[in-house]
Chain A
Amino acid sequence: DTEVTQTPKHLVMGMTNKKSLKCEQHMGHRAMYWYKQKAKKPPELMFVYSYEKLSINESVPSRFSPECPNSSLLNLHLHALQPEDSALYLCASSPLVGQREPGETQYFGPGTRLLVL
Chain B
Amino acid sequence: GEDVEQSLFLSVREGDSSVINCTYTDSSSTYLYWYKQEPGAGLQLLTYIFSNMDMKQDQRLTVLLNKKDKHLSLRIADTQTGDSAIYFCADGSSNTGKLIFGQGTTLQVKP
The answer, yes or no, to whether B97 is at the interface (CB within 8 Å) is yes
Which chain B residues border A104 with CB–CB below 8 Å?
31, 92, 97, 99
Binds B, one of A36-44, A64-72, A73-81: A36-44
Determine the residue in chain B with the shortest Cβ distance to A31: B97
Q: Is B42 an interface residue (CB 8 A)?
A: yes
- Would A40 and B86 count as touching, CB distance under 8 A? yes
Tell me whether A111 and B97 are in contact (CB under 8 A).
no
Q: Count of B residues near A, CB < 8 Å? A: 24
Given A42-B103, A45-B98, A50-B97, does the pair A106, B31 have CB atoms closer than 8 Å?
Answer: no
Give every chain A residue within 8 A of B104 (Cβ-Cβ). Answer: 40-42
* Chain B contacts for A96, CB-based, 8 A: 97
**What is the chain B residue whose CB lies nearest that of A45?**
B98
Known: A31-B97, A42-B103, A56-B98. A102 touches B48 (CB 8 A): yes
Q: List 25 A-B contacts (CB under 8 A).
A: A33-B97, A42-B101, A42-B104, A43-B101, A48-B98, A50-B97, A55-B96, A55-B97, A56-B97, A90-B42, A92-B43, A101-B48, A102-B30, A102-B48, A105-B48, A106-B99, A108-B35, A108-B43, A108-B44, A108-B45, A109-B42, A110-B41, A110-B42, A111-B42, A113-B40
In order of increasing CB-CB distance, the 7 nearest A-B pairs are A42-B101, A108-B43, A108-B42, A110-B42, A104-B92, A111-B42, A102-B31
